[in-house]
Chains A and B, each alone.
Chain A
Amino acid sequence: MNGVTDVKARERAATPGGQPPGRRSFAGRGLLVPALVLLALAVILALIGWAVAERHAADVRGESEAALLAIQKVQSDEIARWYADEKSDTLLLAGAASVVAPLEEYLAGGARGPVPGDLDAVLELYRSGHDVAAVAVYDERLRLIVESPGRRTPEPGAERRRVLAARALGEDAIVFSGAYLAEDGSVGMDFAAPVRDRAGRDVLGVLLVHLDAEDVLYPVLAEWPSSLQAGQTELAAVQGDQVVSVGPALEEGPGPLTMSRPLSDPDLPVAMAARGATGVAEGVDDQGRPVLAALGRVPETPWYLVVSQELAVIEEPIRERALFTLGGVVGTIVLAGVVLLLYWRSREIGERKATERRLEELAADLERRVRERTDELRAANAELEAFSYSVSHDLRAPLRALDGFSLALVEDYGNILDGQAADYLGRIRGASQRMGLLIDDLLMLSRVTRRDMTWEESDLSALARGIGLELAAEEPGREVAFTVTPDLTVEGDRHLLDVLLRNLLGNAWKFTSRTQGARVEVGVEDHAGTRAFFVRDNGAGFDPRHADKLFTPFQRLHGDDEFPGIGIGLATVQRIVRRHGGRVWAEGETGKGATVWFTLGSRRDVE
Chain B
Amino acid sequence: MEQRVILLVEDNDDDVELTLRALRRNRVANTVDVVRDGQEALDYLFGAGAYAERDVRRLPDLVLLDLKLPKLGGLEVLERLRADPRTRRLPVVVLTSSNVENDLARSYDLGANSYIRKPVDFAQFTEAVHQLGLYWLVLNEAPPFGD
Q: A436 — which chain B residues lie within 8 A by C-beta?
A: 119-121
- Complex CA distance for A385 and B12, rounded to whole angstroms: 22
* Cβ contact within 8 Å between B98 and A389: yes
Distance (whole angstroms) from the CB of A250 to the closest CB of chain B = 125
* Cβ contact within 8 Å between B100 and A396: no
Q: A399 — which chain B residues lie within 8 A by C-beta?
A: 120
* Cβ contact within 8 Å between A392 and B100: yes
Can you list, as one digit per residue, whether each of B54-74 has a CB less than 8 Å from chain A (1) or not (0)? 000000000000011000000
- Given A393-B68, A394-B68, A405-B14, the answer on whether A400 and B98 have CB atoms closer than 8 Å is no
In the complex, whether B27 has a CB less than 8 A from a CB of chain A is: no
Q: A443 — which chain B residues lie within 8 A by C-beta?
A: 99
Beta-carbon nearest neighbor of A406 in chain B = B122
Q: B118 — which chain A residues lie within 8 A by C-beta?
A: 396-397, 400
Q: A405 — which chain B residues lie within 8 A by C-beta?
A: 14, 17-18
- Complex CA distance for A401 and B5, rounded to whole angstroms: 24
Cross-interface CB contact of B97 among A385, A392, A403, cutoff 8 Å: A392
* Cβ contact within 8 Å between B98 and A393: yes
In the complex, whether A407 has a CB less than 8 A from a CB of chain B is: yes
Q: B21 — which chain A residues lie within 8 A by C-beta?
A: 404, 408
Q: A109 — which chain B residues lie within 8 A by C-beta?
A: none
* Cβ contact within 8 Å between B121 and A403: yes
Beta-carbon nearest neighbor of B25 in chain A = A411
Cross-interface CB contact of B122 among A389, A398, A400, A447, cutoff 8 Å: A400
- Complex CA distance for A569 and B125, rounded to whole angstroms: 25
In the complex, whether A432 has a CB less than 8 A from a CB of chain B is: yes
* Cβ contact within 8 Å between B125 and A389: no
Distance (whole angstroms) from the CB of A394 to the closest CB of chain B = 7
- A to B contact number (C-beta, < 8 Å): 68
In the complex, whether A388 has a CB less than 8 A from a CB of chain B is: yes
In the complex, whether A433 has a CB less than 8 A from a CB of chain B is: yes
Cross-interface CB contact of A404 among B98, B103, B125, cutoff 8 Å: B125
* Cβ contact within 8 Å between A400 and B96: no
Cross-interface CB contact of B125 among A388, A393, A400, A440, cutoff 8 Å: A400
Size of A's binding interface in residues, CB under 8 A: 26
Can you list, as one digit per residue, whether each of B1-37 has a CB less than 8 Å from chain A (1) or not (0)? 0000000000010110110010000000000000000
Distance (whole angstroms) from the CB of B135 to the closest CB of chain A = 21
- Given A432-B120, A433-B120, the answer on whether A397 and B97 have CB atoms closer than 8 Å is yes
> Within residues 450 to 508 of chain A, which ones have a CB less than 8 A from any CB in chain B?
none
* Cβ contact within 8 Å between B15 and A400: yes
* Cβ contact within 8 Å between B123 and A396: no
- Complex CA distance for A385 and B121, rounded to whole angstroms: 25
Can you list, as one digit per residue, whether each of B101-145 has a CB less than 8 Å from chain A (1) or not (0)? 101000000000000001111110100000000000000000000
> Within residues 378 to 433 of chain A, which ones have a CB less than 8 A from any CB in chain B?
385, 388-389, 392-394, 396-401, 403-408, 429, 432-433
- Given A400-B125, A401-B14, the answer on whether A392 and B120 have CB atoms closer than 8 Å is no
Beta-carbon nearest neighbor of B22 in chain A = A404
- Complex CA distance for A335 and B102, rounded to whole angstroms: 77
* Cβ contact within 8 Å between A404 and B122: yes
- Complex CA distance for A296 and B14, rounded to whole angstroms: 145
- Given A388-B100, A392-B97, A392-B100, the answer on whether A397 and B12 have CB atoms closer than 8 Å is yes
Q: B123 — which chain A residues lie within 8 A by C-beta?
A: 407
Cross-interface CB contact of A393 among B96, B121, B122, cutoff 8 Å: B96
- Complex CA distance for A443 and B101, rounded to whole angstroms: 11
- Complex CA distance for A398 and B12, rounded to whole angstroms: 9
- The contact sample of 17 A-B pairs, CB cut-off 8 A, is A392-B99, A396-B97, A396-B120, A400-B120, A403-B120, A403-B121, A404-B14, A404-B122, A404-B125, A405-B17, A405-B18, A407-B122, A408-B21, A435-B120, A436-B119, A440-B99, A443-B99
Which are the 10 A-B pairs with shortest beta-carbon distances? A436-B120, A401-B14, A404-B122, A404-B18, A393-B97, A396-B97, A407-B122, A399-B120, A403-B122, A393-B68
